[in-house]
């Protein structure tokens, strides 16, 4: 059975939303479970859930964990009007965001609104409701941020949030940058609630370094979508602010991030040397990333000689620009020669 629920708008750099059907169509037919080890925006996990598979999802970013908890693990709980009343209740406060990020990413009053919502989230009645609230706030924060990422300086943010400047420069006013957080949350609530469904599986989510889970999680297939080295892939730089908001403290960037070309070959070797729990390995990558397709095949060949590479032309919109970057998306499909049925 294939469920027809619609994946909501997430706005996540590197998200595979437009490729999710193509990728999942190549899942081997004899599988019943998938481990999405670098889940990001959860588009692949969500498509796998729609296809009735058991999904185990993981991401090192806390906000991506909450996104997966809302849409993958959660089968029925939604955020209702009473929950919104709790979330929006009270007067704005000068908390973590106000003290650390006023006129860094948002205006002071906006930071105070975020601080109030952070305080009120803890009053919600379940972990799933809290997860949905964080996910909706994430959507609102990203929607208000030019280029949908938190690595711009304040002067550039103010410039791009100026609707007259935006119109003169890009022929678009982008008024959504200046809508309130509350407005964005309410506007997206229905789509996120409708995206929640029960696929009759006990889906699980983790918030961990993927390398620490490889010997702990069991599934028929592991789907790998690590950051593409050599491209825009600094995900802590893009979204770490939201994790800091959740934890109400400054955080250090995580390790094993695939940013550094010097360490990426070693990381890929470390990755493929620890996949004995999985019968099939699927890896997404593209032609503009490092290492190259041939270098990846060389690494994978140390652990399996059953490797298929599917290629698909795919245009990535360059965030904040009208032009698109033309790429070839690679899907490596590997059978684990040493896998023994348990």
Number of helices followed by number of strands (H, E) in the chain: 13, 7
Considering the domain boundaries, does residue 46 fall inside one? yes
277 & 314 share domain: yes
For 28-52, the pLDDT digits (tens) are 999 999 999 999 999 999 999 999 9
- 121 and 229 belong to one structural domain: no
- 310 located within any domain: yes
Q: Is residue 340 situated within a structural domain? A: yes
Helix/strand/coil for 180: coil
Q: How confident is the model at residue 91 (pLDDT cuts 50, 70, 90)?
A: very high
Domain that holds residue 95: 77-195
pLDDT value of residue 51: 98
Residue 249: pLDDT over 90: yes
| pLDDT confidence band for 325 (50 / 70 / 90) | low
Read off the CATH number of the domain in which 223 is found. 3.40.50.150
Mean residue pLDDT across the chain: 94
144 lies in a domain?
Answer: yes
53 shares its domain with 107: no
Query: For position 339, what pLDDT does the model report?
Result: 85
Whether residue 118 is found in the same domain as residue 45: no
Mean pLDDT (whole number) for 188-208? 98
Q: pTM for the whole thing? A: 0.95
**pLDDT greater than 50 at residue 320:** no
Which range among 12-16, 94-98, 188-192 shows the weakest confidence by mean pLDDT? Answer: 12-16
pLDDT of residue 335: 97
The domain tally of the chain equals 2
Q: Are residues 85 and 173 in the same domain?
A: yes
pLDDT digits (tens, 9 = 90+) for 92-146: 999 999 999 999 999 999 999 999 999 999 999 999 999 999 999 999 999 999 9
265: exposed, middle or buried (C-beta count within 10 Å: 0-12, 13-18, 19+)?
middle
Residues 54-75 have pLDDT tens digits of 999 999 999 999 999 999 999 9
203 within some domain: no
Do 219 and 340 share a domain, yes or no?
A: yes
pLDDT given for residue 342 in this prediction: 47
d(C-alpha 162, C-alpha 318), whole Å: 21
Rounded to 5°, angle at Cα 213 from 141 and 28:
90
- Give the closest residue to 192 by CA, choosing from 48, 316, 1, 6: 6
Q: Is 64 helix (H, G, I), strand (E, B) or coil?
A: helix
pLDDT in the model for residue 256: 75
Are 268 and 153 part of one and the same domain? no
Residue 341's pLDDT band, with cuts at 50, 70 and 90, is low
> 219 and 157 in one domain?
no
Residue 315 banded pLDDT, cuts 50, 70, 90 = confident
- Same domain, yes or no, for 234 and 336? yes
Residue 103: inside a domain? yes
CA distances from 44 to 34, 77, 119, 195, 215 (A): 10, 21, 32, 14, 22
pLDDT (tens digit per residue) in 262-286: 899 999 999 999 999 999 999 999 9
Q: Which of 161, 195, 229 represents a domain boundary (last residue)?
A: 195
Q: How many CB atoms lie within 10 A of CB 9?
A: 14
pLDDT at 322 over 50: no
Query: What is the predicted pLDDT for the residue at 318?
Result: 47
Same domain, 341 and 292: yes
Residue 220 scores a pLDDT above 80: yes
């Amino acid at each position: 059975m294939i469920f027809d629920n619609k994946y909501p708008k997430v706005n996540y750099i590197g998200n595979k939303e437009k490729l999710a059907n193509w990728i999942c169509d190549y899942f081997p037919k004899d599988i019943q479970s998938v481990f999405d080890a670098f889940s990001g925006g959860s588009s692949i996990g969500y498509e796998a859930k729609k296809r009735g598979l058991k999904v185990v999802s993981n991401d090192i970013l806390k906000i991506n964990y909450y996104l997966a908890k809302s849409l993958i693990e959660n089968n029925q709980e939604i955020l209702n009007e009473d929950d919104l009343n709790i979330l929006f209740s009270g007067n704005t406060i000068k908390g973590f965001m106000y003290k650390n990020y006023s006129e860094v990413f948002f205006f002071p009053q906006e930071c105070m609104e975020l601080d109030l919502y952070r305080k009120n989230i803890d009053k919600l009645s379940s972990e799933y409701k809290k997860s949905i609230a964080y996910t909706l706030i994430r959507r609102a924060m990203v929607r208000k941020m030019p280029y949908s990422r938190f690595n711009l300086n304040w002067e550039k943010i103010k410039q791009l949030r100026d609707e007259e400047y935006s119109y003169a420069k890009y022929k678009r006013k982008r008024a959504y940058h200046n809508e309130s957080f509350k407005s964005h949350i309410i506007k997206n609530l229905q789509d996120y609630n409708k995206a929640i469904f029960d696929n009759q599986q006990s889906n699980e989510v983790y918030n961990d370094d993927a390398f620490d889970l490889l010997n702990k999680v069991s599934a028929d297939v592991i789907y790998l979508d690590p950051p593409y080295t050599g491209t825009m892939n600094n995900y802590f730089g893009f979204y770490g602010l939201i994790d800091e908001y959740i934890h109400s403290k400054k955080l250090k960037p995580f390790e094993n991030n695939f940013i550094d070309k010097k360490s990426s070959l070693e990381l890929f070797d470390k990755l493929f040397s620890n996949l004995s729990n999985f019968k099939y390995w699927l890896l997404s990558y593209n032609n503009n990333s490092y290492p190259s397709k041939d270098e990846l095949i060389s690494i994978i060949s140390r652990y399996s000689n059953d490797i298929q590479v599917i290629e698909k032309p795919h245009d990535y919109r360059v965030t904040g620009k009208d032009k698109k970057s033309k790429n070839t998306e690679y899907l490596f499909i590997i059978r684990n020669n040493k896998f023994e049925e348990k």
